Structure 1
């Protein structure tokens, strides 16, 4: 019985590369001279922290960083920026969570979407992925097209296709 997995994976090697490129550009830009603007990756928590002197500079650092993510093929929709926090004096920071995997709410929404479409397949939640299996390969391709059209606010990958 053919099947595939709906998942969301983030390539942390590309995230690290984009972060290094962004920090290099920030260090060379004239408008950031003498400032403490930078971005760091916490490997353990899989989260980013963006530092700057002002909120305006913080937004500028985020723009540079998101541009580098786009060039490296990392979907910015996987990043969830938090609130701006004051550190000391007038310095600010923002934590950015990197969302890898599909959350339970979104997985339930995907399964409900598949069942409502009346396509003859079965969908089941397996941890942070959704496994879709059916009798025909064409039905699975219909499900992929349906999900690409229906879920636009979160990046989905379709992999682990078994025949």
Structure 2
């Protein structure tokens, strides 16, 4: 007997694509006229990006460049959680950008609530950092995907393991 069709809702991104976007941003900063001779840096860590520069306007320019490179690499800019611009030693400023990855419990619960409120004949359950949706009809599952896409959640959402 065949199992009911299902899919998983996750929030993830391709780290290698992000790394490529960071490298492209570095190259553009090195080549841009308005950054000549400036001490601007962009560093990628496991779960954050650190920007340092001489003033706020250069930080804003770096963020704009980074966002454009991320979009060109088919990533969502919703993965970026921009922190406050802070002063550091030596007259420099820095900005920490946290990376959003994985569904936290609160977001997973809100997705399950959206699905339950839709009255579609599907079951949804939280499994760690993903939400599994099962139903008897493939059409109902596709309606759930459309429903979730229509909601403007503040994290990037992907639909995987569609079977």
TM-score band, normalised by shorter chain: over 0.9
Do structure 1's residue 47 and structure 2's residue 48 form an aligned pair? yes
CA contact (8 A) 2:10 2:131 kept: yes
1:153 Cα deviation after fit: 3.1
Shift of 1:154: 2.4
Report the TM-score, using the length of structure 2 for normalisation.
0.94
RMSD: 1.0
Q: Deviation of residue 125 (structure 1)?
A: 0.6
Say which SS state the counterpart of residue 22 (structure 2) adopts.
Answer: helix
**Structure 2, unaligned stretches of length 5 or more?**
none
Distance in 2 of aligned mates of 1:134 and 1:47: 37
Distance 1:94 1:53 in 2: 12
Aligned position for 1:81: 82
Confirm or deny that 1:11 pairs with 2:14: yes
What's 2:126 paired with? 125
Structure 2 counterpart SS, 1:161:
coil
* Structure 1 residue ranges (4+ consecutive) displaced by more than 4 angstroms after TM superposition: none
Q: Which residue of 2 aligns with 1:2?
A: 5
2:23 to 8, 20, 25: 20
Shift of 1:89: 2.5
- The residue number in structure 2 matching 1:96 is 97
- Gaps spanning 5+ residues in structure 1: where? none
Aligned with 2:12: secondary structure? coil
Give the corresponding residue for 2:147.
Answer: 146
Q: What TM-score results when the alignment is normalised by the length of structure 1? A: 0.94
Counterpart of 2:110? 109
